[in-house]
Amino acid sequence: AAIVEHVFHVKNVVVKPLCKEQMVPAVNGSLPGPTINVREGDTLVVHVINNSTYNITIHWHGVFQLKSSWMDGANLISQCPIQPTNNFTYRFDITGQEGTLLWHAHVVNLRATLHGALIIRPRSGRPYPFPKPYKEVPIIFEQWWDIDIGLLGIQPAPVSDAYLINGLAGDSYPCSKNRMFKLKVVQGKTYLLRIINAALNTHLFFKIANHNVTVVALDAIYTTPYLTDVMVLTPGQTIDALLTADQPLGMYHMSITPYTSAIGIPIPTNMTITSLLVYEGAATSSSPALPLMPALNDTPTAHRFSSSITGLAGGPHWKPVPDHVDEKMFITMGLGLDPCPSDTKCIGPVGQRFVGSLNNRTFVNPETVSLQEAYFYDITGVYTDDFPDQPPLIFDYTNFKLRTNSDYKMMFPERKTSVKTLRYNSTVEVVLQNTAIITAESHPMHLHGFNFYVLGYGIGNYDPIHDARKLNLFNPQMHNTVGVPPGGWVVLRFIANNPGVWLFHCHMDAHLPYGIMMAFIVQNGPTPETSLLPPPSNLPQCTRDPTIYES
């Protein structure tokens, strides 16, 4: 195992992906940011030097952070932000996982430009559980604004102006002509595509004209090989897929298009963004073949892709599903309304602001200290250990209608910093039930610090008898981020084997200010090795003035 070291200089730079110059924060001046390559078992050390004008943290999305929860980079949860002109060094081991992940800033909106690939290859001498590819190619989907959305503070971003593939908007936009990502391939060879959806707020379909791909990993855990002509990724999800250049010499579009299940959610007008697969020796005059993209609201295609893939039972890093459960939770997710603060302009139906909720709780970030320090140092008054195991009300989640006073209550969630404490090594099962309160859309729920088994997906209200019988306990797929279908449910299970404070939240960045999050506190185990260590001495401190990191 090696020590892999990087320096991240975060600075505001001037870029022009479309027609307009704008200033955005970037790592080492590049968009997307630098790719990190490690092998499983390595130690990663990243020195973050913040010379931007923003408070930032960097989160290593999907990394287990075993015994290193102080390095998780969740703003105000695992640490206070690194303020302008300050530095912080992240240092952690990468163990027990292989595949493609991403790193990104964990501050509302800043993830738009501060992100990059984090690629974990097997230890030296260990093969992939599939034939060795000829080459490996990161493919990063991004979302772009012609305004500096960092300046919005913690407001949810408006409709974006474009999507990018590896930093390039392609032919679909003014001023971006001839700036398209091109992948040159040799006929007959197989390529490993390391696909990352770094878009803030959009699920994306991905298709390559005339080609199928074989999915071999999701969220850096191997799957049973799955042959498909279309993929869908929620924000934060990653896919490793093999692509064989098995078609006639030519050029083929590789395209993305948004998937949105919600009615009335604004999306940009140019919907399909392309990159190009170019066979070596193909006539450059030939016109590229186009894939037929799914419709914007094609939930059946999205649901079929997401729910059909199974885990590679017995493969590298696979552990059998625990068959007993210690903690059972049923969590409803929805949007609700909240009285509008006097200094804000609110867009809710009767002048309120929209909020999100989990079990009718809207999460409020701590302000003067991180949640993890409050836990570690026993600082009272920062959070309450009372996140409910059930929603306050059982109702028809997917056909929500206001009938009684208590139904009405579900539209006005309680604002709180509440957490759920878990015993060390306990097995936790969570039924995530999407609701139709105000709007039904897919919410990609992301758990920090763990992969979870996805035992089942379904549409409608979860039925604890009938649906529970059909869960896959043998070879379920695993994820750190799972899209809970609109008006549907997901059942997940994980083992709380890593002491610390772990955020669980919707990975639609716009839903962070809405408070669709909660945190788990995993208690210490019986030995010093299974206990949370003290924080590093240079862990950034929050300023006393909370308005500073709200902007």
**Which of 106, 56, 59, 107 is closest to 84 using CA atoms?**
56
Nearer to ligand C2O, 303 or 448 (CB): 448
DSSP string, 107-121: STTGGGTSEEEEEEE
DSSP string, 382-414: S-BS---SS-SS---GGG----SHHHHHTTSPE
Nearer to ligand C2O, 38 or 185 (CB): 38
DSSP 178: T
Ranges of beta strands (E only) in 280-426 are 327-338, 353-358, 361-363, 414-416, 419-422
Nearer to ligand C2O, 114 or 251 (CB): 114
> Which residue lies nearest ligand C2O, judged by its C-beta?
61
Nearer to ligand C2O, 63 or 278 (CB): 63
- Least distance (Å) from ligand C2O to the CB of residue 235? 8
Dist. CA 17–CA 173, nearest whole Å: 10
- Least distance (Å) from ligand C2O to the CB of residue 293? 26
Dist. CA 395–CA 218, nearest whole Å: 33
Contact footprint for ligand C2O (CB under 6 A): 59, 61, 74, 104, 106, 236, 446, 448, 503, 505, 507
- Least distance (Å) from ligand C2O to the CB of residue 165? 19
Sequence letter at residue 449: G
Distances (CA, A) of 162 to 159, 199, 281, 452: 9, 10, 32, 32
Nearer to ligand C2O, 196 or 213 (CB): 196
- Least distance (Å) from ligand C2O to the CB of residue 507? 6
Residues in Cβ contact with 93 at an 8 Å cutoff, skipping those fewer than 6 apart:
41, 42, 43, 44, 66, 68
Nearer to ligand C2O, 129 or 236 (CB): 236
DSSP 83: P
Phi, psi of 347, rounded to the nearest 5 degrees: -110, 10
Dist. CA 266–CA 331, nearest whole Å: 27
In terms of DSSP bridges, do strands 238-244 and 190-197 run parallel, antiparallel, or are they unpaired? antiparallel
Nearer to ligand C2O, 59 or 194 (CB): 59
In terms of DSSP bridges, do strands 115-121 and 36-39 run parallel, antiparallel, or are they unpaired? parallel
Phi, psi of 529, rounded to the nearest 5 degrees: -65, -20
Nearer to ligand C2O, 110 or 254 (CB): 110
- Least distance (Å) from ligand C2O to the CB of residue 237? 10
Nearer to ligand C2O, 106 or 207 (CB): 106
Nearer to ligand C2O, 74 or 254 (CB): 74
- Least distance (Å) from ligand C2O to the CB of residue 456? 24
131 burial (CB, 10 Å; 0-12 / 13-18 / 19+) is: exposed
- Least distance (Å) from ligand C2O to the CB of residue 220? 13
- Least distance (Å) from ligand C2O to the CB of residue 503? 5
- Least distance (Å) from ligand C2O to the CB of residue 517? 8
Nearer to ligand C2O, 63 or 209 (CB): 63
Nearer to ligand C2O, 104 or 303 (CB): 104
Residues in Cβ contact with 107 at an 8 Å cutoff, skipping those fewer than 6 apart:
54, 55, 56, 57, 75, 81, 549
- Least distance (Å) from ligand C2O to the CB of residue 471? 26
Nearer to ligand C2O, 129 or 449 (CB): 449
Give the torsion through C-alpha atoms of 513, 516, 520, 521, to 10 deg.
30
- Least distance (Å) from ligand C2O to the CB of residue 260? 20
Sequence letter at residue 211: H
- Least distance (Å) from ligand C2O to the CB of residue 79? 13
Dist. CA 460–CA 344, nearest whole Å: 36
Dist. CA 154–CA 512, nearest whole Å: 9
Distances (CA, A) of 278 to 245, 332, 507: 10, 46, 33
SS3 assignment, position 260: coil
- Least distance (Å) from ligand C2O to the CB of residue 196? 11
Give the torsion through C-alpha atoms of 456, 331, 57, 415, to 10 deg.
170
Sequence letter at residue 192: L
